[in-house]
Amino acid sequence: MHSTTAATDSELSSLVMAGEVVLVDFSAPSRCAPCRQMLPVVARTATKLGNRCKVVMMDTDETSTHQSLGIRSIPTLVLYKQGQVVWKHEGLISEAALVKAVSEFC
């Protein structure tokens, strides 16, 4: 996958349960300036990772997965591998730091 894709709660659950390596951007770009800042960073990261990892965006105003994960701050990035959370970051992060962190797992 070379770009980010919006996902529903059930779509994310299916990806995670299938054992996919999935980077999830939990954000609310319509009302959160830092979330909007992260959109191009996450998109470029998706391009750099290519098919090694799926990258999806979960709009916290339209989905509820973030609540079950206890996410109270956005943007929050969560990386799943084999159904487990293996990495999590709250707030802004540089593209280089994001690529480095995620590349360790995919």
pLDDT at 15: 86
Active site residue 32: yes
Pick the more confident residue, 100 or 11. 100
- DSSP letter for each residue of the chain: --S-EE--HHHHHHHHHTT--EEEEEE-TTT-HHHHHHHHHHHHHHHHHGGGSEEEEEETTT--HHHHTT--SSSEEEEEETTEEEEEEES---HHHHHHHHHTT-
pLDDT at 63: 86
For residue 3, what pLDDT band results from cuts at 50, 70 and 90?
low
For residue 56, what pLDDT band results from cuts at 50, 70 and 90?
very high
Question: What does the chain come to in residues?
Answer: 106
Domain residue ranges of the chain, discontinuous segments joined by +: 5-103
Q: What is the average pLDDT score of the chain?
A: 91
Question: Which residue is listed with tokens 């659950």?
Answer: 13
Pick the catalytic residue from 1, 8, 9, 32: 32
Tell me which of 3.30.300.30, 3.40.30.10, 2.60.40.1510, 3.40.190.10 is the CATH number of domain 5-103.
Answer: 3.40.30.10
Pick the catalytic residue from 21, 35, 78, 102: 35
Active site residue 53: no
Rg of the chain on CA atoms, in Å: 12
Q: Which of 7-21, 35-49, 74-88, 90-104 shows the lowest per-residue confidence on average (mean pLDDT)?
A: 7-21
